[in-house]
Structure 1
Amino acid sequence: MIKTILIDDEQHCIDRLLYHIKRSTATFTVMATCSTVWQAVEACKLHKPDLVFLDIEIQEKTGFDFLREMPQINFQVIFTTAFDNYSIEAFKFSALHYLLKPIDIDDFNEAVRRYLDRIKPTSQQIDQRFRVLLDSINNNNSKLTLPTATGYEFVEITSINRCEADGSYTHIFTLDKQFTVSKPLKHYENLLENLSFYRVHNSHLINLKYVKQYTKGNGGYLTMEDGTTINVSARRKDGFLNTLNS
């Protein structure tokens, strides 16, 4: 049983979520539906939900105002939003789930599946994920939340040396650690490409700050600060050199 609270100021959006919940293979118990931040805070204190579906725009306030009002966030959140450019990047940095309105049944089921499959985070991990979220919303993308087999790791982006593709997985290397994440390299390329990262090969995304040396060749190869050598593909060579020189 998933104790659930729905927070949205539009009744038709609440009704759509209830419709999906009734048809879900998971077992939900809807403890409350709320249309204001104040109602939501009181409901969460009273019912202690496992999961909250949280609208971004709630009358004159936002879902983030609700989170700031909570003395402790010990439940998981699936955000709902009608705006595909509204903090989507921030959700990805924090590894928090979101659904775009109008909510499609397949997207709803996938979000629920991810919630059920993920190891339940600790209160400290939940708090950290929301800190990363709010940090990203303020355009200060300093940390990345990495879902791992045992929970989450919170990594300073400036400490990431390189990322390496392994099928649908990505190995992420800092100068002293390695993490393996069940997301493709393209996901991290999209997140990090404006933060001094460049994809030099189908299998390699590197932090330009840690390039120690470039050796010429058909595509050539890089020597990173940790001594790793990375091939540069011939078709990405010119773009990489232009970026490096700029």
Structure 2
Amino acid sequence: MTYKALIIDDEPPARSIIQAYLKKHTNIEIAGEYGNGFEAIKAIKEHQPHILFLDIQMPKVTGLELLEVIDEPVQVVFTTAYDQYALKAFELNAVDYLLKPFDEKRFDDAVSKVLGKLQSGEESNQQQIEQMQEAKSEVLERIVVKKGTKLEVIDLDKLLYIEAQDDYVMLYAETGHFLKSKTMKYFEEHLPSEQFIRIHRSFIVNVDKINGLEPYDKDTYLAIINPECKLKVSRTGYKKLKEQMDF
């Protein structure tokens, strides 16, 4: 069987090295190479690759952000010059991880590992990748979402609030609303706490976008985003808002 692969890396020399190393692997076809996630997202949808050779640190959209928004099952080999993700990757046994510069033998080992998973019927390591993403402790500076076959980057200053939607969340931004496969707990833990507060089990709000509070029921309030958007505030949420906004 021939497996399709995409190479996604913002550095042309790095893509060329992977191309050269893959020449002897005749059962892997390079379906395309791309310098950024915006180009790659459409290609992943079009080609349905089995394997991604994916850089992590790329401008505009990182490799991990790209993986957050793809639905297609795929095996991933990370290629990167930065080692801060390596330990977590190996702890989770999520993917193989090639630290640049890597030699041909190390590359062949990674290919063998991925082919072994594909041939044994393991279609994707997406679950482990998601665990790796969830385990990352840094504070988010932006959120990447998918709209059709395009990517959009939401600056946190443009994010109004987040609403729970069963196993997903709905992000409401100044540019529109977007469904994302993440948990409220994830955003509560990874958004900057001085800017975003969970005011209700169903809502996390950007406190900079609150234009006032109005009574709703006994000991409960509504947070006013605009005249058409008012969000329920629980007692616990009101206490958090009172502490944060100093009123």
Q: TM-score, normalised by structure 1?
A: 0.51
Matches for 1:59-208 after TM superposition, within 5 Å: 64=57, 79=78, 86=84, 100-104=89-93, 112-113=125-126, 141=141, 143-148=142-147, 150-194=149-193, 196-208=195-207
Deviation at 1:79, TM superposition (A): 3.9
| Structure 1 residues 165 and 245: alpha-carbon distance in aligned structure 2, compared to 1, 3 A threshold | same
Do structure 1's residue 225 and structure 2's residue 214 form an aligned pair?
Answer: no
Q: Give the number of equivalent residue pairs.
A: 165
- The superposition leaves residues 41-83 of structure 1 with CA deviations (integer Å, 9 ceiling, x where unpaired) of 54135455652266xxxxxxxx74xx68xxxxxx9865489x9
Matches for 1:27-38 after TM superposition, within 5 Å: none
Deviation at 1:152, TM superposition (A): 2.6
Question: Superposition RMSD on alpha carbons, in Å?
Answer: 4.4
Identical-pair percentage: 17
Residue segments in structure 1 that go unaligned for 5+ positions in a row: 6-36, 55-62, 69-74, 89-97, 116-136
Tell me if structure 1 keeps the 8 A contact 2:140–2:191. Answer: no
SS at match of 1:102: helix
Match of 1:3 among 2, 5, 21: 5
**How far, CA to CA, are the matches of 1:39 and 1:227 in structure 2?**
52
SS at match of 2:91: coil
Do structure 1's residue 43 and structure 2's residue 17 form an aligned pair?
Answer: yes
**How far, CA to CA, are the matches of 1:153 and 1:38 in structure 2?**
24
Residue segments in structure 2 that go unaligned for 5+ positions in a row: 23-29, 34-50, 60-65, 68-75, 97-116, 129-137
Deviation at 1:237, TM superposition (A): 2.0
**How far, CA to CA, are the matches of 1:162 and 1:226 in structure 2?**
15
Letter in 1 for 2:89: L
- The superposition leaves residues 121-178 of structure 1 with CA deviations (integer Å, 9 ceiling, x where unpaired) of xxxxxxxxxxxxxxxx9x992x321145644321122111111001111111113411
